[in-house]
Structure 1
Amino acid sequence: MEVFADYLKGIDNPDHRARMEEIFAWIVGKFPNLKPKIAWNQPMFTDHDTFIIGFSASKQHMAVAPEKAGIVRFSEDIVQAGYDHTKELVRIRWDGPVDYSLLEKMIEYNLEDKADCSTFWRK
């Protein structure tokens, strides 16, 4: 995950940095075919040059962005996991648990739904 090294160094709180490193390592282990990259100054994972999931760090939470379609598809699951969300991202508080099964479902959904996608973002 060398591609994320500079981004992670920029996270001042060592616990927040470790949490993101843990999630990235889990994704790499669970989905080894995904390509990690930095775009728009944010870490993300792609498949055949199309966006699958992205992340960003803020003071109170980590934002997970599965695109609007992923939010719509998993809105109830997101709320049941205790996360706040907008139309484009899910907020996972630093002091709360990470629902890895939900992350897995969002990634798998995007992989399947975008299997034939030829653009970075959905149209």
Structure 2
Amino acid sequence: MNEFKDFLESIDNASHKEKMEAIFNWISETFPNLETTVKWNQPMYTDHGIFIIAFSKSKAHFSVAPEPKALAEFTQKIKAAGYSQTNNLFRIKWEQDIDYALLKEIIQYNIDDKTDCATFWRT
């Protein structure tokens, strides 16, 4: 997770930093075959060089970006978890619990759906 060190160090609030670090550790343990990278100042996970999921931060929340197709697939579950959503991402407020089961479903969906994908993003 050295790739994410600068991102984590840029988070001033210690509890926010711990939360992001916990998510990154969980993903690395749950999906050990995923590669880590940082593009556009966002920590990302890729599979065979193909985008799977990315994260960004703001003052009130952090964002999870799994691409619009995955968001459309999981809109109801994202809403049920209490997260707000746009076409490109969903937001988890810093004080909200992380629905790891949902996160696992979304990541696995992208891995499975993009098995034969040859481009970084879905086309």
Q: TM-score, normalised by structure 1?
A: 0.99
Percent identical among aligned pairs is: 51
| Residue 96 of structure 1: aligned partner | 96
CA distance in 2, matches of 1:44, 1:16: 18
Gaps of 5+ in 1: none
- Superposed displacement of residue 64, structure 1: 0.2
CA distance in 1, matches of 2:66, 2:27: 13
Counterpart mapping for 1:13-52 below 5 A: 13-52=13-52
Counterpart mapping for 1:49-68 below 5 A: 49-68=49-68
- Superposed displacement of residue 61, structure 1: 0.4
Q: Tell me the matched-pair count.
A: 123
- Superposed displacement of residue 84, structure 1: 0.4
| Residue 82 of structure 1: aligned partner | 82
- Superposed displacement of residue 45, structure 1: 0.2
Q: TM-score, normalised by structure 2?
A: 0.99
CA distance in 2, matches of 1:41, 1:15: 21
Gaps of 5+ in 2: none
CA distance in 1, matches of 2:9, 2:88: 25
| Residue 105 of structure 1: aligned partner | 105
Q: After superposition, what is the alpha-carbon deviation per residue over 1:44-100, rounded to whole angstroms, capped at 9, x for unaligned?
A: 100011000000010000100010011100000000000000000010000010000
Name the Cα RMSD after superposition.
Answer: 0.4
- Superposed displacement of residue 29, structure 1: 0.2
CA distance in 1, matches of 2:49, 2:14: 31
Secondary structure of the residue aligned to 1:54 is strand
- Superposed displacement of residue 9, structure 1: 0.3
> Hey, which bits of structure 1, 4+ residues long, moved more than 4 A?
none
